[in-house]
Amino acid sequence: MLSYNIFKRPTLKFIKSATGLVLAIFIYLDGQVAVAQPTIKVAVAANFQPTLQRLADLYSARTNQKILISSASSGKHFAQINHGAGYDLFLSADVKRAELLQQQNNIQVLARKTYAYGLLAWACNTPCSNYAIQTNSLPSAAEFSQWDIALANSNLAPYGSASEQYLANHYLKPRKKIRAENIRQTFQFLLSGNVDLALVAKSNAVAFYSDRLHSYQIISPNEYPAIEQQMVLLNNKGLGFFHFILSATARDIIQLNGYLVPAASRQGD
Amino acid sequence: MDEQTLQALWLTTQLAMATTAILLFISTPLAWWLARGNSWCRSLVEALVALPLVLPPTVIGFYLLIVLGPQGPLVPLLDWLGLKTLNFSFSGLLIASVIYSLPFVVQPLRQGFANIAQPQLDLAASLGASYWDRFFSISLPQSKAYYLIALVLGFTHTVGEFGVVLMVGGNIPGETQVLSIAIYEMVESLKYQQAHYLAAGLLLFSFAALILLYRRKMPALPV
């Protein structure tokens, strides 16, 4: 009978030794984890990921703490955190989702701070001046209506709503608006030649300019609503890194990477 | 339901119907050849047809973005049509869907055609039935069940398409914003209530379609 066979002596012996082996592996792994510094888990909005990587490298070098970065849209991260994802720190692309997290009953938010302001730029496949896009000059509405442009989806990305507002403020109506699901996807559409122009994040344009992008033109931040990006501290494990992001050193790096930083903030605050 | 949702619903229906119609048309000769032909390149074509089953949508989306765009090989065709790109348009989505859903239509039909007994066709031929007569009076009626499988799978799979559309669609309401993209946008922008309506609706639709399929006594699905 089957039930008898299972408990025959050799099988039992095998189960015993296998259990022992598995236990030994677990105990070994557990020891390994305990020796290392705790890893800080950070969720970051896609636009800030390259900048955060630089900050994380510097911080890790200083403190010997490992930082695990997960980059996605803030909407996705919000849903994940709200459903128990164990991030220590969440850098949102906007204020709304950071604020919403604070209002959730099941989530404990220890602190909330603005870490950067995003900047918009035009990115072009041929020199931007070909499209009459230059500093302090805008293309005419008639010219503009011949072009297809890529921009971030205003429902999904704060850069998208700022872009829409910018176009509306200047009565600019492109032939076709191709809406990317996040600000980085606008580059996919532009660099593959499918659109003439794209409204992009300055931080991404800075990163791409040297090798792929033909030209870009920064748009004055007075011409669209501010893209304020906030972060929330979800676990005290992330406290040190949270403070580091607000430090003078980090602020310089953030600025160099194409953002504005909040004005009133004490060093190390 | 707001206007945008209705638009997405209608667009998805149009896309799925057009895709399924085109697929049934081109898959019939293709599946016949795959089932009954014995060319040396049969396995090559069969593998090519099955590729969308195993490739991530990102691979297909990425290549479509390039191939259908102004830096791709279709530029002469695009120039002739007076277009800059086929991406971000209904036609582009249609091409993408036809490629993406191809195996879901070809494979059932191929199996159906393979099941037809050769002696029966030979007998009909000996009685003077022409090639087309044999196809329309013997092969086609005997493969009816497989056509139903192909139709349902082709339609539902196109409705369920997401990754490719996300990459070559551009989320334009009324033109490329299909249901799956609309749901994605609702979830991402925290409109969970609206997302629930659409997601549950889609779930029920797909479930009902598959029940319809499995209720009939049929051989195991090939895919």
Residues A102-135 have pLDDT tens digits of 998 888 899 999 999 999 999 988 888 777 777 6
**CA-atom Rg of chain B in angstroms:** 20
pLDDT at residue A29 greater than cutoff 70: no
Cα–Cα dist B81/B88, whole Å: 15
| Minimum CA–CA partner of A193 in chain B | B70
| Contact (CB, 8 A) for A196 and A147 | yes
Q: In terms of pLDDT, which residue wins out, A63 or A23? A: A63
Side-chain-side CA neighbours of B199 within 13 Å: the count stands at 11
Q: Strands A259-260 and A89-91, how do they pair?
A: unpaired
Domain ranges of chain A: 40-117+228-260, 120-218
| Residue A62, both tokens | 């200083």
Cα–Cα dist B182/B98, whole Å: 21
Residues B95-131 have pLDDT tens digits of 999 999 999 999 999 999 999 999 999 999 999 999 9
Angle formed at CA A48 by CA B191 and CA A86, multiple of 5 degrees: 60
The CATH number that domain A120-218 falls under is 3.40.190.10
What ipTM is given for this predicted complex? 0.73
| Minimum CA–CA partner of A72 in chain B | B188
Query: How close is the nearest chain A Cα to the Cα of B154, in Å?
Result: 26
Total beta-carbon pairs less than 8 A apart between chain A and chain B = 60
DSSP structural state of residue B135: I
Regions in chain B scoring below 50 on pLDDT: 223
Cα–Cα dist B72/B218, whole Å: 43
Using a 10 angstrom Cβ sphere, with 0-12 exposed, 13-18 middle and 19 or more buried, the burial of residue B215 is exposed
- Give the nearest partner residue to B189 out of A155, A188, A193, using CB atoms: A155
At A118 the three-state DSSP class reads strand
Q: How far is CA B59 from each of CA A205, A238, B36, B53, B171, rounded to the nearest angstrom?
A: 25, 36, 31, 12, 19
The answer regarding whether domain A40-117+228-260 maps to CATH 3.40.190.10 reads yes
| Minimum CA–CA partner of A150 in chain B | B170
| Residue A21, both tokens | 């082996």
The whole-number pLDDT of residue A30 equals 60
| Residue B85, both tokens | 């790109």
Residues A149-168 have pLDDT tens digits of 999 998 888 899 999 999 99
pLDDT at residue A5 greater than cutoff 60: no
Query: How close is the nearest chain A Cα to the Cα of B149, in Å?
Result: 34
Residues B13-27 have pLDDT tens digits of 999 999 999 999 999
The mean predicted confidence, pLDDT, of chain A is 84
Domain ranges of chain B: 3-215
Paired residues of A70 in beta bridges? A43
In this prediction, residue A184 has a pLDDT band, given cuts at 50, 70 and 90, of: confident
The count of residues in chain A is 269
| Minimum CA–CA partner of B66 in chain A | A192
Query: How close is the nearest chain A Cα to the Cα of B85, in Å?
Result: 6
B88: chain A residues, CB-CB within 8 Å: 148, 176, 178, 189, 194
| Minimum CA–CA partner of A149 in chain B | B170
Return all residues near A159 (Cβ < 8 A) that are at least 6 apart.
A47, A93, A118, A120, A151, A152, A183, A199, A200, A201, A227
Residues A38-75 have pLDDT tens digits of 799 999 998 899 899 999 999 999 999 999 999 888 88
> Does B171 contact A179 at a Cβ distance shorter than 8 Å?
yes
pLDDT at residue A205 greater than cutoff 90: no
| Contact (CB, 8 A) for A241 and A42 | yes
| Residues of chain A contacting B, Cβ within 8 Å | 73, 75-76, 78-79, 97, 100, 148, 150, 153, 155-156, 176-181, 188-189, 192-194
Using a 10 angstrom Cβ sphere, with 0-12 exposed, 13-18 middle and 19 or more buried, the burial of residue B119 is exposed
At A172 the three-state DSSP class reads coil
Decide: pTM greater than 0.80: no
Selection from B182, B125, B113 nearest residue B149 by Cα: B113
The whole-number pLDDT of residue B44 equals 94
> Does A181 contact B170 at a Cβ distance shorter than 8 Å?
no
The whole-number pLDDT of residue A1 equals 42
Q: Superfamily for B3-215?
A: MetI-like (1.10.3720.10)
> Does A193 contact B188 at a Cβ distance shorter than 8 Å?
no
Residues A73-103 have pLDDT tens digits of 888 889 889 888 889 999 999 999 999 999 9
A126: chain B residues, CB-CB within 8 Å: none
Fold matches, A40-117+228-260 and A120-218: yes
The whole-number pLDDT of residue A267 equals 46
| Contact (CB, 8 A) for A92 and A116 | no
